[in-house]
Amino acid sequence: MCGIGGWIGHRENAEVVARSMVRALRHRGPDGDGLLSLPDATLVHTRLSIIDLSPAGKQPMSNAGGTIWSVFNGEIYNHRELRRRLEGKGYRFTGHSDSEIIPYLYEEMGTEFVNVLRGMFAIALYDTRSHSLVLTRDRFGIKPLFYAPEEERLSFASEINALRNLPGMDLRIDRQAVYDYAALFYIPAPETFYRGIRALDAGELLEARMEHQKVTWRIKRHHRWTVAPDPTMQTDEVAGRVEGLLRSSVERQLDSDVPLGCLLSGGIDSSLVSTAAQQAIGGGLQTFNVRFSDDAYDETWAAKSVANHIGSDHTVLDMDGEKGTWTRITNLLSHAGQPFADTSIFALNAVCRLMRQHVTVALSGDGGDEGFGGYNLYWQLARIARLQLIPSPMWWAGAAVLTPFSRLCLIPPHIPSRLREFSGVDDIAIIQDLYSWIRGKELQRLSWDEGKVDSIRRLFEPRWDYVFRKTPSRIERLSALATEVNVRLVLCNDFLFKVDNASMKESLEVRVPMLDEDLFALGLCLPYHLKVHGKTCKIILREVAKRWLPPAVARKSKCGFGVPVDRWVDADFKTRLKEALLGRASRISEFFRPEVYRPIIEGFCDGKQSHDTSRQGLYQRIIMLLSLQLAISRKPDQFPAMSVPCLNLN
């Protein structure tokens, strides 16, 4: 795992700029760095040594002729198989790192090389023969990659903060991105907070060329997933296949020359991964989780139960000892490089900081819910589909009857409004509503840009291929679209972005065995009845859990990996929050109406619950507003001069 950066094209003081980029990416690769200067390109790399700790693993790396250079962030899990294939064609290697095969694969296959890679990766290649730069990301978007196109150059980096500080960067705020962020609490690729910086999307490949002192570029998709439910599948047969694929995935992802452990949250997915890892290494696995005093958020009992069951060496981090101070929260939010409001990043970063004291590589359970229907919304879809058979006037009447009960806190505050929102709408509108934090009329009231930018709906329109063996039922169609949105939009831009930021800030590599390509493809073939039964989701993984885990863990309901922010932060945080968001220095009024967000801030700081917003909804909105304010008010960082060995091929 590493940090990568650079550019194609001409830049004044190129070496000085490249060194500042190394400084910005140092936390991603504290074990070493490399800088390559070519006539038309510069490549930068910071190294977190995982496989082949010798100098033979140092990047940038080239082919034997020195015509193709690469920098790479991630892990290629089938690198040994690809190495043998290349050696059979006469290629020779000096080390055994996975990064060494990349320039040779490109030499052999051109841009099609990405199709044979299995793993998580963000890759940059420069071809001196064609004066072209290639950027690409893995199929899920596990590893991030951002780029900044200009007329005379195209720059790229693993993190936005490494691009913000480049001379001449267009840092004007993208109002479309802010509008989308207000609804989703993350910014979807290819947008970023800045008009001059874009995010390469999952499964994309960018090719840029230097022609007549100008850079031209184009993007193509190298992978698109297909949802193909197979109604003939049977539970026992599929569960058996999942067992085999999961074991193989975990075994491949245990490849490391440095200490490795598992993030064992207590959920089913991380428990299955930890069990497979312990079996594969034959004992001695280190596992970790975080504990909350708020029982609604704590799964320590489950994590300890699994750890005892598999015999792992388990460590618990008490989050009450990691209080939510102003400095801790704002530093982590600013580290993301753009507004980001998934509050589980606080707990994840805390456990990553703990784990880094013991291991360099961690396996997590991320991705199981997306592939196998693990979220509550999957059973909610069936309920919505049935309720929509009721005439719309009855929905509105029901909402009117329930509203007084919500104001008395006798029922959840969102129920009456959700009844109105689901009345007579189509599949896309249902999925949009379920995946948005701020919806419909609230978004209209909040944003100054309502009606001036593109609708959120565009993000939820289907882009994948759907293959049904017969005319699909309404619930099968809804399930397919929900799966796509989960993976294409939420997993890539929220969950995986969060994992990378929280872990790499602490120089910890996190791997995700549930996102093995074959295992995930199998999940996309599951019919709805093998995902959900009643209110029980993730049927297949629960069947595997029955075979592998303690019964109480296998049966437990899903609990999100979140932080009770309202109880976790200290009093000083609330005081400074109110000043930051409502004081004279606040700039969020440039995008949002103060009369809408002021009651949210005051309610949170004064400990008053809103009658129409849940507890979690209230503190999520607070972090959304704070993260936006931090991004608006931030100025480019100034990095001190530093010494980085530079290979100059001018």
Mind spelling out the 3-state secondary structure of 140-184? Answer: CCCCCCEEEECCCEEEEECCHHHHHCCCCCCCCECHHHHHHHHHH
Which run of H or E residues covers position 536? Answer: strand 536-537
Listed in sequence order, the DSSP H helices in 390-453 are 392-407, 415-422, 427-435, 440-446
List Cα–Cα distances, 451 to 176, 244, 405, 444, in angstroms. Answer: 11, 51, 33, 8
| 3 state SS for 85-96 | HHHCCCCCCCCC
- The answer to whether the CB of 574 falls within 8 A of the CB of 352 is no
- Which tokens go with 323? 């209080």
Residue pLDDT, tens place only, 360-418: 999 999 999 999 999 999 999 998 888 777 666 665 566 566 666 566 565 566 666 66
Rounded to 5 degrees, what are φ and ψ at 136? -155, 155
Residues 6+ apart with CB under 8 A from 412: 406, 614
Q: Nearest Cα to 572, choosing from 332, 329, 326?
A: 326
Known binding residue 293? Answer is no
Of the candidates 232, 363, 354, 373, the residue with the CA atom closest to the CA atom of residue 290: 354
Q: What is the DSSP string of 382-405?
A: HHHHHHTTS-HHHHHHHHHHHHHH
- For residue 598 the two structure tokens come to 């002021």
For the stretch 11-16, contacts whose Cβ atoms lie closer than 8 Å and that sit 24 or more positions apart, written own/partner, are 11/42, 11/153, 11/167, 12/167, 13/167, 14/42, 15/646, 16/641
Q: Residue 252: name the closest of 280, 225, 278, 293 by CA.
A: 280
pLDDT score at 456: 96
Domains present along the chain, CATH in parentheses: 2-223 (3.60.20.10), 235-370+488-564 (3.40.50.620), 377-481 (no CATH), 570-633 (no CATH)
Strand 68-76 with 119-127, pairing: antiparallel
User: What DSSP character marks residue 556?
Assistant: P
Token pair belonging to 595? 């009369």
Is 365 flagged in the annotation as binding? yes
Q: What is the pLDDT of residues 570-611, one digit of tens each?
A: 999 999 999 999 999 999 999 999 999 999 999 999 887 776
Q: Which residues are catalytic?
A: 2
Query: What is the 3-state composition of the chain as percent helix, strand, coil, each rounded to the nearest 5?
Result: 45, 20, 35
Q: Which two tokens stand for residue 624?
A: 């959304």
Binding residue per annotation — 283?
no
Instruction: Give dist(CA 145, CA 113) in Å, integer.
Output: 18
263 marked as part of a ligand binding site: yes
For residue 642, report the phi and psi dihedrals to the nearest 5 degrees. Answer: -150, 160
Q: What is the DSSP letter of 30?
A: B
For residue 429, give the 3-state DSSP assignment: helix
DSSP string, 280-332: HHTS--EEEEEE-SSTTT--HHHHHHHHHHHT-EEEEEEGGGS-B-HHHHHHH
The DSSP bridge partners found for residue 193 are none
Extract the residue ranges of the chain whose pLDDT is less than 70: 1, 390-424, 560-561, 611, 636-650
Q: What is the pLDDT of residue 639?
A: 42
Instruction: Give the DSSP H or E segment for 106.
Output: helix 101-109
CA atoms of 103 and 95, how far apart (whole Å): 14
Nearest Cα to Cα of residue 32 among 46, 51, 52, 44:
46
- The span from the CA of 426 to the CA of 508, in Å, is 43
